[in-house]
């Protein structure tokens, strides 16, 4: 098969699909920002799914939907026995999300298919485009939930019983409600030959260094914990300080400790408290309870375990000092992942052949690719995020960078699809 090295995607068509999908759950900011709120398994997620599935059908793909709502669309190859080359990502977003996180990887897959169709390209292997359920984990923890179930890292029964952080709805009920509990069994009966995912970097490194393509070597370890502290609600004016059991005082000390520990460990350690709820949350009432989340990440598993131990011990000690009860629940825990050396080399060589500057880098964010890496050779292609912003409605990546990354993914897919 000569000539496939010269195939290129249509950047305008890809950006038009990104625009159209971004209109579903669109959020507009005061300074012209255009973001997206399509939390997993909400009505907006269903509308987004329906649109992407309609595009898959328009392209004549064979569409399968599995028991956790992952959707895989297949373009057949000439060899019916060959395992597929899969690309994909997710189309759910955080509540303050952008139009690119996840969506780019899925829609780039459709653009690759349309490019192959347009040029009557017959590959030996099938090419598959997947979108996985609840990658974000913002509504249903853990993150990467659908891809974990797909690869067999999480039991489907357990996943279906997860309760929503916003309204307590059961994941399985929400999946049925939006009509995406499919018949295909999980874990998948067979896995792809390889998996590649195009994604925005979601951080500042590529932009700051003026580099177009991030060659992703793996994903850092992720630790999510929910901390609940229960004290004694009482009057803010009448209760002397030394007689209080104030859960907010415990949370404040714990959060301060988290910043200190992350600070002295230094990069790449990161630590975030992104959610905090006080009950009853009133100015003149000592809270009865505080619930907050801790997100810790590091590329080094031993360091991650060390900071977990230190921070959790500090939470317990501060709760004890204040006479409060404390409980901690793990919401997600993933060790650092290293991608396949050959796939990494292929992404790098492909990007360089297409004339792009490259940089090897680990991913700071979690991705479906880290789950697929358990079952087949995997890597990712990153493109720059303007101002390093993501999980923010100001998230933006230029059309030129989108086109560059999409062409790298196309060529990576073709390198495997003909072999
Ligand atoms: C998922 O997108 C995460 O990295 O939090
Ligand atoms: Mn993502
Ligand atoms: Mn995300």
Are residue 158 and residue 23 in the same domain, yes or no? yes
The confidence score (pLDDT) of residue 10 equals 98
How far is ligand 2, taken at its centre, from the CA of residue 312, in Å? 28
CATH code for the domain of 43: 3.40.630.10
Element (H, E) at 4: none
Mean of per-residue pLDDT scores for the chain: 98
Are residue 258 and residue 313 in the same domain, yes or no? yes
> Shortest CA distance to 65 belongs to which of 180, 179, 222?
180
Element (H, E) at 93: none
Note residues around ion ligand 2 (Cβ under 5 angstroms): 101-102
Question: What is the reported pTM?
Answer: 0.96
φ, ψ (nearest 5 deg) of residue 373: -60, -20
HSE-CB at 48 with a 13 A cutoff on CA atoms is 32
> Which residues have CB under 8 Å from 170's CB, separation 6+?
160, 161, 162, 163, 164
324-376 pLDDT tens trace = 999 999 999 999 999 999 999 999 999 999 999 999 999 999 999 999 999 99
Are residue 304 and residue 372 in the same domain, yes or no? no
Looking at 304, 334, 364, which one is the last position of a domain? 334
Parallel, antiparallel, or unpaired for β 34-36 and 26-28?
Answer: antiparallel
187-210 pLDDT tens trace = 999 999 999 999 999 999 999 999
Tell me the pLDDT band of 18, cut-offs 50, 70 and 90: very high
How far is ligand 1, taken at its centre, from the CA of residue 97, in Å? 11
Are residue 205 and residue 184 in the same domain, yes or no? yes
Q: Total domain count for the chain?
A: 2
Spatial distance between the Cα atoms of 320 and 33, rounded to a whole number of angstroms: 45
CATH code for the domain of 329: 3.30.70.360
Angle at 256 between CA 253 and CA 260, to 5 degrees: 135
Q: Which of 367, 371, 380 to mutate to test the pocket of ligand 1 (most atoms within 8 A of CB)?
A: 367
Could you tell me how many helices (H) and strands (E) the chain has, helices first?
12, 18
The confidence score (pLDDT) of residue 67 equals 98
How far is CA 78 from each of CA 70, 117, 135, 384, 415, rounded to the nearest angstrom? 25, 14, 32, 36, 15
Spatial distance between the Cα atoms of 244 and 304, rounded to a whole number of angstroms: 34
214-237 pLDDT tens trace = 999 999 999 999 999 999 999 999
134 lines ligand 1 (CB under 6 A): no
Q: Which of 222, 224, 270, 392 to mutate to test the pocket of ligand 1 (most atoms within 8 A of CB)?
A: 222
Is there a contact between 165 and 149 (Cβ–Cβ < 8 Å)? no
Looking at 287, 317, 334, which one is the last position of a domain? 334
> Which residues have CB under 8 Å from 128's CB, separation 6+?
72, 73, 74, 75, 84, 85, 86, 87, 88, 109, 192
295 lines ligand 1 (CB under 6 A): no
The confidence score (pLDDT) of residue 3 equals 86
Spatial distance between the Cα atoms of 78 and 56, rounded to a whole number of angstroms: 20
How far is CA 168 from each of CA 173, 189, 391, rounded to the nearest angstrom? 11, 32, 23
Q: Which domain holds residue 240?
A: 221-334
136 lines ligand 1 (CB under 6 A): yes
How far is ligand 3, taken at its centre, from the CA of residue 156, in Å? 22
């Amino acid at each position: 098969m000569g000539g496939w090295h010269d195939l290129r995607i249509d950047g305008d068509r890809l950006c038009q699909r990104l625009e159209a999908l971004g209109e579903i759950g669109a959020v507009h900011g005061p300074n012209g920002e255009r973001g997206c709120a399509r939390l997993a398994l909400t009505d907006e997620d269903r509308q987004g799914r329906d649109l992407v599935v309609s595009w898959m059908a328009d392209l004549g793909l064979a569409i399968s939907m599995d028991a956790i709502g992952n959707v895989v669309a297949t373009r057949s190859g000439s060899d019916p026995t060959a395992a597929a080359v899969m690309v994909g990502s997710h189309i759910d977003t955080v509540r303050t999300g952008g139009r690119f996180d996840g969506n780019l990887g899925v829609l780039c897959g459709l653009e690759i298919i349309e490019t192959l169709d347009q040029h009557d390209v017959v590959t030996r292997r099938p090419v598959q485009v997947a979108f996985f359920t609840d990658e974000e984990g913002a509504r249903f923890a853990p993150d990467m939930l659908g891809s974990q179930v797909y690869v067999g890292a999480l039991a489907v029964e357990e996943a279906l019983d997860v309760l929503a952080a916003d309204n307590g709805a059961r994941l399985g009920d929400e999946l049925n409600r939006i009509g995406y509990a499919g018949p295909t069994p999980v874990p998948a009966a067979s896995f792809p030959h390889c998996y590649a995912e195009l994604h925005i970097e979601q951080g500042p490194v590529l932009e700051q260094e003026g580099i177009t393509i991030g060659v992703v070597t793996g994903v850092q370890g992720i630790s999510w914990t929910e901390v609940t502290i229960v004290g004694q609600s009482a009057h803010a004016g009448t209760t002397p300080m030394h007689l209080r059991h104030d859960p907010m005082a415990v949370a404040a000390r714990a959060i301060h400790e988290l910043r200190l520990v992350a600070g002295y460990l230094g990069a790449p350690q990161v630590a975030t408290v992104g959610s905090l709820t006080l009950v009853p949350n009133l100015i003149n009432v000592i809270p009865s309870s505080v619930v907050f989340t801790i997100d810790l990440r590091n590329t080094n598993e031993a360091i991650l375990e060390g900071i977990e131990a230190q921070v959790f011990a500090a939470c317990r000690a501060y709760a004890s000092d204040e006479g409060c009860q404390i409980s901690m629940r793990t919401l997600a825990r993933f060790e650092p992942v290293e991608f396949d050396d050959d796939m990494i080399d292929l992404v790098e060589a492909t990007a360089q052949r297409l004339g792009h500057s490259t940089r090897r880098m680990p991913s700071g964010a979690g991705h479906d690719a880290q789950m697929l890496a358990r079952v087949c050779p995997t890597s990712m292609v990153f493109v720059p995020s303007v101002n390093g912003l993501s999980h923010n409605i100001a998230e933006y990546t230029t059309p030129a960078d989108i086109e560059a990354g999409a062409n790298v993914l196309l060529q990576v897919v073709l390198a495997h699809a003909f072999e």
